[in-house]
Amino acid sequence: MALKSFEILGFPDNRFDTIPLLDIIKAVEIKKQEIKPEIVFTHHAHDLNIDHRKTFQAVLTACRPMQDETVREIYSFEVPSSTEWQVQTSVNVFLPTLYITIAESHLKAKIDAMEIYTSEVRDSTHPRSENALKLLAEWRGLSIGTRFAECFEMVRRIL
């Protein structure tokens, strides 16, 4: 797992609902044109966090399936303390459809990356704790008969 680039676009934290959706869409479209991805991973449509929901809407709009679109697949991921804290109705719930086996080294890299966000890490009884992240990876792994896994919900796949 390696991050090639990282950029903060300057939108206000936890206030995407105060920004016109079109502004967020345009920012995503600019990045998409630079990168020209075939696969996009984004937040779940029904995360409790408003920024996550608006990001999902912007990504889905920016990746509309038009003639020259490079994006062939869109997946949403789960965010501890946002995805599972939303009302769990059949419409809102995160439904994993893609499981990816990960090595313990990948899990360690994920936990190390999370620890950079000191304001987001919590104690062991919180979904964003080191213990909870490991338990979630183990749970997702148990679901497919492996030690650790990450899971995603397929939003769109064009073959």
Task: Please return the burial class of 104, using the count of CB atoms within 10 Å of its CB with bins 0-12, 13-18 and 19+.
Answer: exposed
Domain spans of the chain, in order of start: 16-157
Per residue in 12-63, pLDDT (tens digit) is 999 999 999 999 999 999 999 999 999 999 999 999 999 999 999 999 999 9
Token pair 């630079």 is found at 34
For helices 50-62 and 21-35, give the axis angle rounded to 10 degrees. 60
Q: Is the pLDDT of residue 136 over 70?
A: yes
Q: Is the pLDDT of residue 4 over 80?
A: no
* Residue 135 pLDDT class (50, 70, 90 cuts): very high
CATH assignment, 16-157: 3.40.50.10320
